[in-house]
């Protein structure tokens, strides 16, 4: 049986006549009769008594028709719900982003997109880069804002680029300097993000290029927390320039040419985006977020 067949059973019960139901459904009487026979054969029960003036549900038919009403109603609700989710004007976008972007870039992007598409709902996931890749693999997210494009079948659109600085406490001997070379960090204690985070990979790469491996004093997933720990005199940290000075730290320009963090929107290229997700992507690519 198909969902259509269940709907046809309901129509027969409502019209009490196969030909009248066929006319209402826009099909032929033989086609409707074959569908009824197919349902009765599958269920192993006669569903309607044939009378001179039409049909009447049998006791088994009453049960089947009641169930058919419920199933067709639920199916109709499912279809309409899926349609709303996929509608580019009212649907759902599942967006993941790095913790370090929670208070800066992401709110401004969402504000701009909400003004553009106020009825589209954006479901947010705030998590580290390796978990974002895992969620992409599960199909749990449509788009993500990350600092680097993942390896594999992913698209990438650059959203912005940030300068990285070394933050030191206000009491640090370097507090009056304007810039610093990472090679000078050999005796400093570094506060950074844990292994597996995109920011940690970026910082570790810069330190390797500088030929230095400072001791790690503390690790935190949150860049604002790192800046606060530095302000408390617990070490130094490499953070985007926007985080410098939030708690009284001093930001020093890093002389390394690669001391920058790129931020972009990424998505799987081996899967078709839903219309709402495609609208979000098109909005950013088209410069709608400013």
φ, ψ dihedrals at 122, nearest 5°: -110, 120
Domain residue ranges of the chain, discontinuous segments joined by +? 3-86, 92-158+263-285, 160-261
Please tell us whether the domain made up of 92-158+263-285 is placed in CATH 3.40.190.10: yes
pLDDT of 129 reads 82
Give the model's pLDDT for residue 290: 63
Burial class (CB in 10 A: 0-12, 13-18, 19+), 288: middle
pLDDT at position 236:
98
The pTM is what?
Answer: 0.67
- Which pLDDT belongs to residue 99? 76
pLDDT means over runs of 10, the chain (290 residues): 91 92 90 92 93 93 94 84 80 88 82 93 88 89 90 93 95 96 95 87 94 95 93 96 93 95 93 92 84
Q: Give the tens place of pLDDT for each residue, 152-199.
A: 999 999 998 989 999 999 999 999 999 999 999 989 999 999 987 878
Which pair of structure tokens corresponds to residue 158? 């650059």
Same CATH topology for 92-158+263-285 and 160-261? Answer: yes
CATH of domain 3-86: 1.10.10.10
Cα separation, 264 vs 109, whole angstroms: 12
Would you state the pLDDT for residue 195?
87
- What is the Cα–Cα distance from 7 to 65, expressed in whole angstroms? 9
Q: Which fold has domain 160-261?
A: D-Maltodextrin-Binding Protein; domain 2 (3.40.190)
**pLDDT at residue 197, rounded to an integer:** 81
Distance CA(7)–CA(36), nearest Å, equals 11
CA distance 244 to 246: 6
């Amino acid at each position: 049986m198909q969902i259509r067949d269940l709907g046809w059973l309901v129509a027969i019960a409502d019209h009490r006549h196969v030909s009248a139901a066929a006319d209402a459904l826009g099909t032929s009487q033989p086609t409707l009769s074959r569908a009824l026979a197919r349902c009765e054969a599958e269920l192993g029960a006669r569903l309607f008594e044939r009378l001179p003036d039409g049909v009447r549900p049998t006791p088994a038919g009453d049960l089947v028709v009641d169930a058919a009403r419920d199933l067709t109603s639920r199916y109709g609700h499912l279809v309409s719900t899926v349609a709303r989710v996929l509608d580019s004007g009212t649907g759902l976008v599942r967006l993941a982003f790095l913790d370090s972007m929670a208070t800066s870039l992401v709110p401004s992007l969402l504000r701009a997109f909400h003004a553009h598409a106020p009825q589209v709902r954006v479901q947010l996931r705030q998590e580290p880069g390796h978990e974002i890749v895992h969620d992409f693999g599960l199909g749990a997210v449509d788009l993500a804002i990350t600092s680097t494009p993942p390896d594999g079948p992913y698209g990438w659109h650059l959203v912005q680029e940030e300068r990285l600085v070394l933050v030191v406490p206000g009491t640090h001997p370097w507090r009056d300097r304007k810039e610093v070379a990472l090679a000078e960090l050999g005796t400093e204690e570094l506060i950074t993000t844990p292994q597996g985070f995109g920011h940690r990979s970026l910082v570790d790469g810069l330190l390797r290029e500088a030929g230095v491996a400072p001791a790690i004093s503390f690790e935190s997933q949150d860049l604002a927390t790192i800046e606060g720990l530095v302000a408390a005199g617990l070490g130094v940290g490499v953070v985007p320039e926007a985080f410098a000075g939030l708690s009284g730290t001093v930001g020093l320009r890093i002389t390394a040419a690669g001391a920058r963090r790129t931020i972009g929107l990424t998505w799987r290229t081996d899967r078709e985006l839903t219309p709402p997700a495609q609208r979000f992507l098109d909005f950013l690519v088209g410069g709608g977020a400013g």
